[in-house]
Amino acid sequence: MDLLRSSLEVGMEDVLYDVDYMKTTTDPVAVALYDTKIKQPNNELNFLKAREGLEKVKLGAYAFHTQTSTGYPIVERTFEERAICELAEVQLYKPVYANMALAKKSPLRELFLYCNLHQMEVGILHRLRRHWDARKPQCIDFTRYLEVEVGLGESFGALILLGIGIVVSLIVLLLEYTWNKWRMSIPAKRG
């Protein structure tokens, strides 16, 4: 919903599945997104190749829908670290898991259903997806909260304190040195 209200332009990857989904869906949010953002006034559509769409995202003020297996490698190769950290993901539709094609009233239907459910429960499907799908680009070194410009005026007090500390430490060094020299110059009393 936020994407509909934003001033961002929106595009989608030119994949048959996505084109068909946008033209046939009954989801009100997806229909509104298609009518207001993807379908242009001159009846042109914002369906682009993944590289072109992500290049527009890189320039700014553009949202692009693509498959993670296509988009993640492009983002990892072409985006800077800061840009990767500023990206946000929005899921347009829920993933549909593949089904098994079987004859009607097949006795194997229930068996495959239970096996598929078991694979989901124990994490086999998640592991396979992690193995075959592209790795999500990592945001490693971006700390927005440390992004503060500090000039000489803000650090003046700290610099004064540092200077005082250096002077005091030099005075203590001289006192210790003279104390040590004075103590060594006094002959030890023999008893």
CA gyration radius for the chain?
Answer: 33
pLDDT beyond 70 at 146: no
Class of domain 3-96: alpha beta
- Dihedrals φ, ψ of 188, to 5°? -70, 135
pLDDT beyond 90 at 177: yes
Provide the residue count of the chain. Answer: 191
pLDDT beyond 60 at 191: no
Q: List the 62-65 sheet strands across, edge first.
A: 47-48, 9-13, 62-65
The larger pLDDT score, comparing residue 158 to residue 100, is at 158
The region that residue 43 occupies, defined by phi over 0 for left and psi between -120 and 50 for alpha, beta otherwise, is left
Integer Cα distance of 182 and 88 in angstroms:
70
Which residues does residue 12 pair with via DSSP β-bridges, in sequence order?
47, 65
- The model's pTM is 0.61
Q: For residue 39, give the nearest of 58, 12, 68 by alpha carbon.
A: 12
Integer Cα distance of 2 and 22 in angstroms:
18
SS3 of residue 29 by DSSP: helix
Share of the chain above pLDDT 70, in %: 91
What's the token pair of residue 111? 């068996």
The CA-based angle 20-8-4, given to 5 degrees, is: 60
pLDDT of residue 1: 60
Q: For residue 133, give the nearest of 88, 79, 70 by alpha carbon.
A: 70
pLDDT beyond 60 at 145: no
4-49 per-position pLDDT tens digit: 888 888 999 988 988 888 888 888 888 888 888 888 777 677 889 9
Integer Cα distance of 171 and 69 in angstroms:
65
Those residues whose C-beta lies under 8 Å from the C-beta of residue 85, and which sit 6 or more positions away, are: 139, 142
pLDDT of residue 190: 60
- Dihedrals φ, ψ of 80, to 5°? -80, 165
Q: For residue 14, give the nearest of 51, 48, 64 by alpha carbon.
A: 48
Extents of the domains making up the chain: 3-96, 150-190
pLDDT of residue 147: 65
pLDDT of residue 68: 87
